[in-house]
């Protein structure tokens, strides 16, 4: 694993591994013990330009290649990932602070998305559309957009880079990836290494490790990329959308969430507790789909709360390398301090701490808060860490109102003994995704993934990926002579 941090601590531009030429370095730390993992000199505006131009040069030939030949690259990439899975898991644990369970979950999904990309290479189809004009043949082609810019986050960096990069490439595009500076290897250069070893043509895929402090908006303003796929906060997403709109670029924005898991009065309480604990505390709560809020019908709230609190107290906090650890570190001290501030604010507003975890460095123990005032801003914002709000409600109508009282609309879940009651409840929630009798954290290769309101624009996965990374072109053929009015 250590060789990854030494060998891949570079830029990958034009098929070459090389240092950046910026004036400062991104320092890659292990969030658990602050070990320095790597140092990468940042890419400059000129190097971003070079990366995009490299992708554009290589893309034309790649798009013209037989899709069955393109498919072979993804078959090989999948085999490489399977062969190196153990060491990549170690890398994710070290760089991201993810537990063994989290790393396994991330790699499982990454393999599923690579498998789907194998099929995606053959998915685009054209059609012949009827014309009211005699002798006119209307051909509609689905073609690659050209070059896609991808910006990935720190929480599931390998998966969320693969999720845009692989399908964009499979559909005949070139790609430039900018990973989060806290996860430049798992979210960036590791992906480049896998595709390089899988035989992807040199120059088609590029990785630039840099930051807006060095390049400003150059990554999203550049004239070559036609689509920007961004995963991150709604604050940054709003800026990305604004800049891209000004330059007539399409965006796919997978942004934050404030998901709720709702427990109705007829739910299986033990099962609902398990689902709620997982939905809140998977990867320390650093997931856009995580259940920030757990809503429970007042008639069962006491029993649920007792069971929920008891289970939370059993969660082992510590070294993510330990297979028994459930709660590892958050990504950095800024995030840890923000979570501490959230708990302090809630208590100052009158909340009750049923569990109050301590904060030490990047280690944030779970906190369970009840009695948060209904008008508190805390209930309407994303809490990216192991802090959860328990909220009682009286009847489904009130529960629907509480869930929807948020600027976000990404995911959610409801638990009930009556499946159709659950589906009816889900239909009333303003979200892109909702789950009956399950957790809030799910992703599958064929099912449209995305949110409403401040949780994003557009969808990925399945047919929606075709819409994201291809465009439609109409070519008409006039058989015989057309008539003109003058």
Residue positions annotated with a catalytic role: 254, 288
Q: Quick one: angle between helices 157-170 and 100-120, nearest 10?
A: 0
Rg (CA), the chain: 24
Q: CA-to-CA distance for 263 and 413, rounded, in angstroms?
A: 9
Q: SS3 sequence, 288-316?
A: CCCEEEEEEEHHHHHHHHHHHHHHHCCCC
Q: Quick one: angle between helices 100-120 and 67-83, nearest 10?
A: 160
Q: CA-to-CA distance for 459 and 231, rounded, in angstroms?
A: 12
- DSSP letter, residue 187: I
- What's the token pair of residue 267? 């739910």
How many H helices and E strands in the chain?
16, 24
- C-alpha distances in angstroms, 330 versus 31, 134, 239, 360? 7, 65, 25, 11
Q: CA-to-CA distance for 121 and 132, rounded, in angstroms?
A: 33
């Amino acid at each position: 694993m250590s060789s990854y941090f030494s060998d891949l601590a570079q830029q990958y531009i034009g098929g070459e591994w090389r240092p950046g030429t910026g004036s400062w370095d991104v320092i890659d730390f292990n969030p658990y013990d602050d070990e320095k993992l790597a140092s990468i000199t940042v890419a400059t505006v000129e190097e971003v330009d070079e990366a995009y131009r490299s992708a554009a040069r290589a893309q034309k030939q790649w798009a013209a290649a037989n899709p069955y030949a393109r498919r072979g690259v993804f078959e090989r990439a999948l085999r490489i990932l399977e062969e190196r899975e153990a060491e990549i898991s170690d890398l994710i644990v070290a760089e991201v602070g993810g537990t063994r369970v989290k790393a396994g979950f991330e790699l499982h999904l990454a393999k599923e998305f690579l498998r789907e990309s194998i099929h995606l290479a053959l998915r685009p189809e054209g059609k012949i559309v009827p014309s009211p004009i005699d002798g006119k043949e209307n051909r509609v082609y689905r073609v690659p957009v050209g070059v896609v810019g991808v910006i990935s986050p720190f929480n599931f960096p390998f998966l969320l880079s693969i999720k845009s990069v692989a399908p964009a490439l499979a559909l005949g595009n070139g790609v430039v990836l900018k990973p989060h500076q806290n996860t430049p290897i798992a979210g960036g250069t590791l992906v480049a290494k896998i595709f390089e070893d899988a035989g992807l043509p040199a120059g088609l895929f590029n990785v630039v490790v840099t930051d807006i402090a060095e390049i400003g908006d150059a990554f999203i303003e550049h004239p070559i990329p036609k689509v920007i796929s961004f995963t991150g906060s709604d604050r940054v997403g709003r800026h990305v959308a604004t800049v891209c709109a000004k330059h007539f670029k399409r965006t796919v924005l997978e942004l934050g969430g404030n998901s709720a898991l709702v427990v109705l009065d007829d739910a299986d309480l033990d099962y609902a507790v398990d689902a709620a604990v997982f939905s809140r505390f998977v990867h320390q709560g650093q997931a856009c789909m995580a259940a920030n809020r757990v809503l429970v019908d007042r008639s069962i709230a006491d029993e649920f709360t007792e069971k929920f609190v008891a289970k939370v107290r059993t969660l082992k906090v510590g070294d993510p390398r330990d297979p028994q650890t459930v709660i590892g570190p958050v990504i950095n001290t800024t995030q840890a301090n923000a979570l501490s501030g959230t708990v302090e604010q809630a208590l100052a507003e009158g909340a009750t701490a049923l569990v109050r975890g301590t904060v030490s460095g990047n280690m944030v123990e779970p906190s369970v808060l009840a009695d948060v005032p209904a008008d508190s801003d805390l209930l309407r914002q994303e809490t990216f860490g192991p802090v959860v709000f328990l909220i009682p409600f009286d009847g489904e109508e009130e529960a629907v109102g509480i869930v929807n009282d948020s600027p976000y609309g990404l995911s959610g879940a409801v638990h009930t003994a009556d499946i159709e009651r659950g589906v009816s409840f889900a239909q009333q929630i303003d979200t892109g995704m909702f789950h009956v009798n399950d957790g809030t954290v799910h992703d599958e290769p064929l099912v449209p993934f995305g949110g409403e309101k401040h949780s994003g624009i557009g969808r990925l996965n399945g047919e929606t990926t075709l819409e994201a990374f291809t465009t439609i072109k109409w070519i008409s053929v006039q058989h015989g002579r057309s008539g003109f009015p003058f």
